[in-house]
Each structure stands twice: as C-alpha cells, then as structure tokens.
C-alpha cells in the first residue's frame, strides 16, 4: 500500500470539495482548481472527517503509481487554494535584468535581443528589483513549469555562475583554465 496514497487529505474550513464524473473540484479563498483522475483510483470526500480519501481498485503497477500521485495532486490543490505557492528566481550577471510589462516578462540576460516571455493565466509575476523575480499562483504544477521555463532561458553556467537560478540554488563552479608556466 502506498504510504502517501493512504493518508487522508485534510480539508480546512472555507474550502469546498466536489467530486463528480472523475473530476475533483476544490474551491477556496484564493481560487478554484480542477483535476481529472484516472479510473484506476477512487476519490471520496468524507464529510464527517472533513478529509479526502484516495483508494485504488487493484494492485496493478499502474494503479499503484497513480494512487500516491492522485493523493498528492489533491493535497497540492487544497494547499494552493488556501495558502498559494511561490517561487523566487534570481538573476546573476553584469547587465542582466528583469522587468514586467503588462502580461509579459522582459529579460535581458546577455543575448543580442531582449527576451519576451508571456505570463500564463493564473500566475502573478512581480519584480521587486531588477535581479529578483517572484512568481506566485495557486496551481503548483503550472507555477513550477513556468519557473523552470524561465530558468531554462539562461541556465547558470559553471565558470562565472551567470544566469537565472532559483533563490538559494547552489551552482557547482569549475576552476577554469590553469596558467601555463
């Protein structure tokens, strides 16, 4: 039995959970999220315990893998509509900077042209200063994907450490060329 899958997902007050037609809908103070689960798992909402229970129908390999994943998705939805998620990126490099213009994130990261990244719906991006980007939203999956795609535009290079990285992310540095005697 999956250790993660068998744990019930507690639902705090102020959050509504509806399950219909293989779709879980979670609505809270920050917004509304939906997730369509697979037929190999069952999802029930227990009103007495105020918790969501995820069970699997059999012990097939696919069912076991979907059991914990479905529970984690429902838990992420509940946390997202109550607290929300946040990712912070930092830009390291001389002349590297970021700005938000409407629904576009503008990045100058050492290329000949400025990069324009459209911000998806449901994501809020703010730039407190030119070297830091704060990405917030209620959908953990969408938020992580957007943060990773922004980071992938200029990943940190190992010699000087220039590029876009998550705040506090360690970058393995290489020594570079040794002086010839």
Q: What is the mean pLDDT of residues 71-93?
A: 95
pLDDT, tens digit (0-9, with 9 covering 90-100), for 91-117: 999 999 999 999 999 999 999 999 999
Catalogue the long-range contacts made by 18-24 (C-beta closer than 8 Å, 24 or more residues apart): 18/45, 19/43, 19/44, 19/45, 24/52, 24/74, 24/77
Scan for tokens 């995820």, then name that residue.
54
Which tokens belong to 177? 């060329």
Q: What is the mean pLDDT of residues 1-11?
A: 86
Task: Enumerate residues 6+ apart whose C-beta is below 8 A from 132.
Answer: 88, 89, 90, 91, 98, 167
Task: Enumerate residues 6+ apart whose C-beta is below 8 A from 89.
Answer: 132, 133, 135, 147, 150, 151, 164, 165, 166, 167
- Rounded to the nearest 5°, which phi and psi values hold at 146? -65, -45
Inform me whether the pLDDT recorded for 128 exceeds 80: yes
pLDDT in the model for residue 181? 65
Q: How far apart, in Å, are the Cα atoms of 115 and each of 100, 105, 132, 149?
A: 12, 8, 16, 12
Name the strands in the sheet holding 97-101, side by side, starting at the edge strand that comes first in the sequence.
Answer: 97-101, 104-108, 115-118
Asked if 56 contacts 46 with a C-beta cutoff of 8 angstroms, the reply is no
pLDDT in the model for residue 74? 96
For residue 137, list its beta bridge partners. Answer: 85, 123
For residue 25, list its beta bridge partners. Answer: 18, 34
- Global pTM reads 0.90
pLDDT in the model for residue 2? 72
What is the spatial distance between Cα 121 and Cα 107, in angstroms, rounded to a whole number? Answer: 19
User: What are the structural domains of the chain?
Assistant: 9-82 (3.90.930.12), 85-166 (3.90.930.12)
What is the spatial distance between Cα 65 and Cα 67, in angstroms, rounded to a whole number? Answer: 6
Give the three-class secondary structure for 86.
Answer: strand
């Amino acid at each position: 039995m999956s250790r993660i899958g068998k744990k019930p997902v507690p639902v705090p007050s102020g959050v509504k959970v509806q399950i219909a037609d293989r779709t879980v809908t979670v609505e809270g103070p920050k917004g509304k999220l939906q997730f369509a689960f697979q037929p190999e798992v069952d999802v029930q909402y227990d009103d007495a315990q105020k918790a969501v229970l995820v069970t699997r129908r059999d012990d097939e390999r696919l069912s076991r893998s979907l059991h914990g994943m479905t529970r984690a998705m429902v838990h992420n939805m509940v946390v997202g509509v109550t607290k929300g998620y946040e990712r912070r990126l930092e830009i390291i490099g001389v002349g590297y900077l970021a700005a938000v213009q409407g629904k576009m994130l503008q990045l100058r990261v050492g290329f000949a042209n400025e990069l324009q990244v459209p911000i998806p719906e449901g994501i809020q991006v703010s730039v407190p200063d030119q070297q830091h980007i704060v990405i917030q939203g209620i959908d953990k999956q969408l938020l992580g994907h957007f943060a990773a795609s922004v980071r992938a535009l200029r990943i940190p290079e190992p010699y000087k450490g220039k590029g876009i990285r998550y705040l506090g992310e360690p970058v393995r540095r290489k020594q570079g060329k040794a002086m010839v005697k």
